Structure formats: structure tokens, C-alpha cells
A and B are shown apart, each in its own frame.
Chain A
Amino acid sequence: MALSLLTPMFKVERDEELCIQCKVCMRQCVNGVHWYDEEEDRMRCDHKKCVGCHRCVVLCPTGALTVKKYPLEFRENAHWTLDYIRSIYLQAETGGILLTGMGNDRPYPVYWDHMVLNASQVTNPSIDPLREPMELKTYLGRKPKAVEIKNGKLAEKLPPQLELDVPIMFSAMSFGSISLNAVKSLAQAARETGTFFNTGEGGLHRDLYEYGANTIVQVASGRFGVDPDYLKAGAGIEIKIGQGAKPGIGGHLPGEKVGPEVSATRMIPLGSDAISPAPHHDIYSIEDLRQLIFSLKEATNYEKPVGVKIAAVHNVAAIASGIARAGADFVAIDGFRGGTGAAPLRTRDNVGIPIEFALAAVDERLRREGIRNEVSIVVGGSIRNSADVVKAIALGADAVYIGTAALIALGCHLCQKCNTGKCNWGIATQDPYLVKRLNPEIGARRAANLIRAWAHEIKELLGGMGINAIESLRGNRLMLRGIGLNEKELSILGIKAAGE
């Protein structure tokens, strides 16, 4: 066998003084990094197999393990970095497309970090959220241009809305791309915190129908798992056109992940590849999209909001405007940092635009066209903390989707190996040995804690600005100032520079 030129990515260091040979590392590593050398009575390891997921480090009861970047330096070269050299070795060995998981990890600018928030001083009082009521309630859906009130009541019924206690939802992650225990964790957390999780294109497992009131069911290009019960089970429906991590391409769940449960939930034969085409083959225009939106509304008796999810790409504002005019109740935009269970590496890292620009452009365009009220905006694909949420809302979002952040709460360590199905944390896998590692009771507790913690922080930030309802921040770009941005960037974001 010809020698592989790939050198290890990580080095596992074991402090022999601390190692008690309990073999927990060996049992926990699905990649087979650790093994016990009986003759030497010590644990040994194969650095080459380590993916840097930290499972062994976290589980080691004596803290004997650390994982470091493999200390091998190429001759310094600003152009040919380690990643590009390794990619070529790998492709020279396999002849295949490079696949990866999670979101774009390249050092593009993070515009959230170039925006700062305002606070009240002297002339307008700030508010203490511990002493005064603070409102985060958010409604997603089409709002009328004006409301008519008769006898103290609304004269006309409002179009269907999704009611969120916090403006944060769990983004679409299918059962198949992630484990049932991971979906259960998010579903339970969504119920506890008054928000929604999204089925992705994985269908709704029978155990999850009880969470229907907190579910957004997705209809994507493969139409997996879609039937009348499914559409009626959710509180809202989302048509998925694109995903931030892989705009313009479809999905592929390999047959080995399609076990009995995934097969039944997706309504496809056991062990068959689940291939979602790149486009919806019945949507080639905004008119076609309108037809699907209204087919779904018709099928659900016009009782549920129907949204459309797109990836943030160059003409996103015009596309979003078309989506609003096609009758969507909300438009979800996924930025180029958005995660994935599997995507071609070059697509993930090079296609799409930052969500901050996409959001600002869409909000601005819809306002200018006088149709902002007709559609709610949900953004995802890069939200890392509560400040990002607040900045997104100030830029014009109604709510945000969190995917990567939610998985990190469940234990994900961002090793980007979701596509291999060997997730040591029991999240992005269907392997019966591994899925048990995520106890949904713990997962739900952790995900709900994250939402609660962010809700507290959002209230603090709002209070500091002298605002007592998230509604008053929405699209309030005066609360933002740019740092280190050029004129063009400031004008696209629609914000002033710090000091202005």
C-alpha cells in the first residue's frame, strides 16, 4: 500500500503521572485513537486518528489528557497554508470532493464584531430588568397594514402567527443529520422556553408529534417525511430553498444512516440514500414558489404561517422581496457561516455572503417597497451569543435561528466531522453505540438553559438602551454604530460609524 502523505492534525498528550489506566478514553473514542498495551500496562495512542473532538479529554476522570495542534511546521508560506496542502494530499489519494461538516471556518470578517450597541446616559433613563417588566414576546407572520378596531376588538382576524417567548428558535436540523436524542433535546427545550424547533428535511418522528405546538415542519426539495399529518402537526411550515453552508446544492444522507427509525420518519426504503435535489423540481420561478406556498396553506386550512428559507446570496434582497410577494409569512435567511451535517468543503467556504449584509439589505429593501409588514424576517448562520441576537434585531430581524450554538450546548466541540457519522458526542450520528451518549433529559436542560441565559442577557442589553420591549429595538439601527468599517460597508448595514 502506498504511503499516505497526510500527517496528524492533532497530538494527544497523556500525563502518565495522572493516567490510572481506567480505559475510559479507549471506550469513548470511536476513532480508535487510544488503546491499552497490556505488556507495558499503559495506555497508548495513535495521533493520526484524532479529530480533536475532546471526548476523551472531557471524560478522563483524572484530567490526564490534552489535545494539541500537531507540532509539525511546514516552511512558512503565506499562500500555501497547512489546510490547502493537506487538501491536496487528500484529494491526490482519493480523487474525490472534499466533504466537511459545521459552518464556514475561514477568517472572513465577522461583522457582528464590527458593530457596537448604544446605552442610555443622563438624558434618557436606562431600565433595570430585575425591577421592571421587560418584553421579549415576538410574533412571526404577516401583519396587516393597519388594524381596525370595533367595540374594543379586532375587526378582522389576524393572519396566523407564531408566538415566541424569546426571539430565538432552533434552526432546521433533520433527524438523520443529527440523532433522535438531539432532536428530542431541542424539541423539549423549545417547549420549555416557549419557542420552536425545526424538523429540517427529516420528517417528524412519531415520538415528536407531542411537541407539535413548538415545531416548524420543513418541506424541502426531497419532500422527505411530508404527509398531511406532518403538515398539520407543526405550528408553522417552512419551505427550504437553500442553506447557508451550501447554497445552490442539495443534500445527501447516505444509506448507512437510514436505519429503521430514519426510514420510517422520512418515508423512504430502509438503507436507501436520501438525496435532496439542488432545486425543487417544481419551482423555477417566484410564481411556482407562490403555488407551493398556497398549496401548503390550502392543505393546512390557512391556519399556519408558511415561510421560505433561503441562503444569503448576492441578490438576496430582490429574492426576499419576491418571496414576500409570493405570499410567504416569514422569510428565513441563512448566512454563509451557517452549519451543515455535510457539505462540499469548497462550497461551504466560498459560496454565499455574510448574514449581517444580507439582513440589512433585505430589511431595507422590504421597507422601501412598503411590504416589510407582510413578512417576518428570521436570520441564522453565525449567531454566537445574546449580543449577536440583539444586533441582528436592531438590524431588522424579527427573530434568529441558532443551530451551531444549540449543538454546542448539547456537547458539540466543533470538530467538523458531522459528515462521517462518527460523532463521539452522540449528536451527528445514527450509530446505536454513540446516540446513547446524548441523554435527551440533559440535552434539553442544557439547551433550555442557554435560551434562558440569553434571554436574561438580552433584557440587560435592552434595559441599558432604555428599551423595555424587543419590539422597540426591531430595525432600530440608531442603536448600532460601526467600528473599523468602510463607507460602503456602513451604508449597506445602514448604520453610522462610532462617534457619529
Chain B
Amino acid sequence: MKKVYVREEYCIGCHLCEVYCVMAHSRYPHDLLKAFKKGDPLPLPRLWVEEKGPLTFAFQCRHCEEPHCVSACITGALQKDTTTGVVTCEQERCVGCWTCVLACTYGAIRRDTKNGKMVKCDLCSNWGEPPACVYYCPNEALIFVERGE
């Protein structure tokens, strides 16, 4: 399946991927200004930029072949879509137990403590292709490709 990969040698640490991730998951998924000015409370970004010295890269869910988070989920909210391969979370069923957070070997799941729900990358399934972070990456550091792992 196509996934988001980062080429850290070109990641400039601008965090625009986070900004557009917030927009894509807000009440105004195609209007950056309204998303930030009127979208309160703002959703958490589903990916984030890790930084150490000049090394920076954006990071998000790897949509594993056999996702530990899905097997660990106590309510069945987390599912791996059999056709698209995207690991998604049915928000209504998430109870905020954070078992998935513990199970994820990559640390790619975040806790939305305000809403008591987990949040993770959904590859912008409801937004468009490529995902917003890739579409708006100013240096083409993020790419959306099939690598056949």
C-alpha cells in the first residue's frame, strides 16, 4: 500500500505538515485560516516533527501489516481496513484506555486528553490524495509512495 515516507535529508523542520494535518482534521478541512481561527478546539496533529540538532523528520503511523494496536484495542475501535490497509479508529468506540499507545512499537499514537480519545494518522482518507502533509510539504521531503515492504 501507499504510505507516507519522510526523506529526512530534505526535511527542513518547518512543521507545516503539522499545520496542514490540523487543518485536514478540523471542521474546515480545506480552509487553513478558518480551521485555525474558528476551529476551536483545534484537533491534535496526527504527525509530528522530531528534532535533534540539524536532524529533523516528520513521523506518523506506519499502518503496519499486523498492527499491534489493533490486536490490543479492547473495544474493537481500531481496525485495519482490509481493502485500503489503512489502520483507522472508530472514534465513538474509543474509550481512552491508551492500551494502543502502549502497544504501538513506533510511538505513533497520541493521546487527546481533552476528549479522552486516541488520535493517529488516517492517511487523510476523508481529505484526498496525497495526504495533506505530503501535499503541502514545501521541500518534497514527505512522499506518498508504494515501497512494497
A28 to B14, CA, bound (A): 7
With A18-B33, A20-B36, A27-B14: A61-B19 Cβ-Cβ less than 8 Å? yes
Closest-by-CB residue of B relative to A426 is B12
Tell me, rounded to whole Å, the shortest Cβ–Cβ distance linking B87 to chain A.
27
> In the complex, which residues of chain B have a beta carbon less than 8 angstroms from the beta carbon of A441?
140
Q: Are B32's CB and A20's CB within 8 A?
A: yes
Whether a CB of chain A sits under 8 angstroms from the CB of B128 is no
> In the complex, which residues of chain B have a beta carbon less than 8 angstroms from the beta carbon of A27?
13-15
Number of A-B contacts (CB under 8 A): 52
Q: Which of B19, B36, B140 is the one whose CB lies under 8 Å from A24?
A: B19
Closest-by-CB residue of B relative to A64 is B33
Q: Which of A18, A20, A22, A439 is the one whose CB lies under 8 Å from B139?
A: A439
Q: Are A24's CB and B54's CB within 8 A?
A: no
B interface majority secondary structure? loop
A24 to B32, CA, bound (A): 14
Q: Are B54's CB and A433's CB within 8 A?
A: yes
A18 to B37, CA, bound (A): 9
Tell me, rounded to whole Å, the shortest Cβ–Cβ distance linking A324 to chain B.
45
> In the complex, which residues of chain B have a beta carbon less than 8 angstroms from the beta carbon of A492?
none
> In the complex, which residues of chain B have a beta carbon less than 8 angstroms from the beta carbon of A24?
14-16, 19
Whether a CB of chain B sits under 8 angstroms from the CB of A370 is no
- The number of chain B residues with a CB under 8 A from chain A is 22
A61 to B15, CA, bound (A): 11
Closest-by-CB residue of A relative to B14 is A24
Q: Are A442's CB and B33's CB within 8 A?
A: no
A20 to B32, CA, bound (A): 9
Whether a CB of chain B sits under 8 angstroms from the CB of A432 is yes
Whether a CB of chain A sits under 8 angstroms from the CB of B4 is no
- Looking at A18, A433, A436, which has the most chain B CB atoms within 10 Å of its CB? A436
Q: Are B54's CB and A436's CB within 8 A?
A: yes
Whether a CB of chain B sits under 8 angstroms from the CB of A59 is yes
Whether a CB of chain A sits under 8 angstroms from the CB of B10 is yes
> In the complex, which residues of chain A have a beta carbon less than 8 angstroms from the beta carbon of B81?
none
> In the complex, which residues of chain A have a beta carbon less than 8 angstroms from the beta carbon of B139?
436-437, 439, 442
Closest-by-CB residue of A relative to B19 is A22
Q: Which of A59, A432, A436 is the one whose CB lies under 8 Å from B10?
A: A436
Whether a CB of chain B sits under 8 angstroms from the CB of A62 is yes
> In the complex, which residues of chain A have a beta carbon less than 8 angstroms from the beta carbon of B12?
28, 426, 436-437
> In the complex, which residues of chain A have a beta carbon less than 8 angstroms from the beta carbon of B36?
20, 22, 62
Q: Are A439's CB and B141's CB within 8 A?
A: yes
> In the complex, which residues of chain A have a beta carbon less than 8 angstroms from the beta carbon of B141?
439
With A18-B33, A20-B33: A61-B140 Cβ-Cβ less than 8 Å? no
Whether a CB of chain B sits under 8 angstroms from the CB of A23 is yes
Q: Are B19's CB and A439's CB within 8 A?
A: no
Q: Are B138's CB and A20's CB within 8 A?
A: no
Q: Are B19's CB and A59's CB within 8 A?
A: no
A107 to B27, CA, bound (A): 53
A439 to B140, CA, bound (A): 8
Q: Are B11's CB and A436's CB within 8 A?
A: yes
> In the complex, which residues of chain A have a beta carbon less than 8 angstroms from the beta carbon of B136?
61
Q: Which of A61, A433, A442 is the one whose CB lies under 8 Å from B16?
A: A61
> In the complex, which residues of chain A have a beta carbon less than 8 angstroms from the beta carbon of B54?
432-433, 436
Tell me, rounded to whole Å, the shortest Cβ–Cβ distance linking B18 to chain A.
8
Tell me, rounded to whole Å, the shortest Cβ–Cβ distance linking A249 to chain B.
33
**B interface footprint on A16-39 (CB within 8 Å = 1, 0 otherwise):** 001010111001100000000000
> In the complex, which residues of chain B have a beta carbon less than 8 angstroms from the beta carbon of A62?
32-33, 36
Tell me, rounded to whole Å, the shortest Cβ–Cβ distance linking B79 to chain A.
32
Whether a CB of chain A sits under 8 angstroms from the CB of B9 is yes
A36 to B75, CA, bound (A): 41
Whether a CB of chain A sits under 8 angstroms from the CB of B48 is no
Q: Are A23's CB and B33's CB within 8 A?
A: no
Closest-by-CB residue of B relative to A433 is B54
With A59-B138, A61-B19: A436-B14 Cβ-Cβ less than 8 Å? no
> In the complex, which residues of chain B have a beta carbon less than 8 angstroms from the beta carbon of A442?
139-140
Closest-by-CB residue of A relative to B56 is A436
Q: Are A20's CB and B14's CB within 8 A?
A: no
A24 to B12, CA, bound (A): 10
Tell me, rounded to whole Å, the shortest Cβ–Cβ distance linking A281 to chain B.
38
> In the complex, which residues of chain B have a beta carbon less than 8 angstroms from the beta carbon of A59?
14, 16, 138
Closest-by-CB residue of B relative to A20 is B36
Tell me, rounded to whole Å, the shortest Cβ–Cβ distance linking B130 to chain A.
16
**A interface footprint on B55-76 (CB within 8 Å = 1, 0 otherwise):** 0100000000000000000000
Q: Which of A1-23 contact B (CB under 8 A)?
A: 18, 20, 22-23
Closest-by-CB residue of A relative to B9 is A436
> In the complex, which residues of chain A have a beta carbon less than 8 angstroms from the beta carbon of B138?
59
A28 to B56, CA, bound (A): 13
Q: Which of B88-144 contact A (CB under 8 A)?
A: 136, 138-141
> In the complex, which residues of chain A have a beta carbon less than 8 angstroms from the beta carbon of B10?
436, 439
Closest-by-CB residue of B relative to A431 is B54
Chain A interface (Cβ < 8 Å from any Cβ of B): 18, 20, 22-24, 27-28, 59, 61-62, 426, 432-433, 436-437, 439, 441-442
A-B contact pairs, 25 of them (CB 8 A): A18-B33, A20-B19, A20-B36, A22-B16, A22-B19, A22-B36, A24-B14, A24-B19, A27-B14, A28-B12, A59-B16, A61-B136, A62-B32, A426-B12, A432-B54, A433-B54, A436-B11, A436-B56, A437-B12, A437-B139, A439-B139, A439-B140, A439-B141, A442-B139, A442-B140
Query: With A23-B15, A436-B12, A439-B139 given, can you name 16 additional A-B contacts, CB distance below 8 Å?
Result: A20-B19, A20-B33, A20-B37, A24-B14, A24-B16, A27-B13, A28-B12, A28-B14, A61-B16, A61-B136, A433-B13, A433-B54, A436-B9, A439-B140, A439-B141, A441-B140
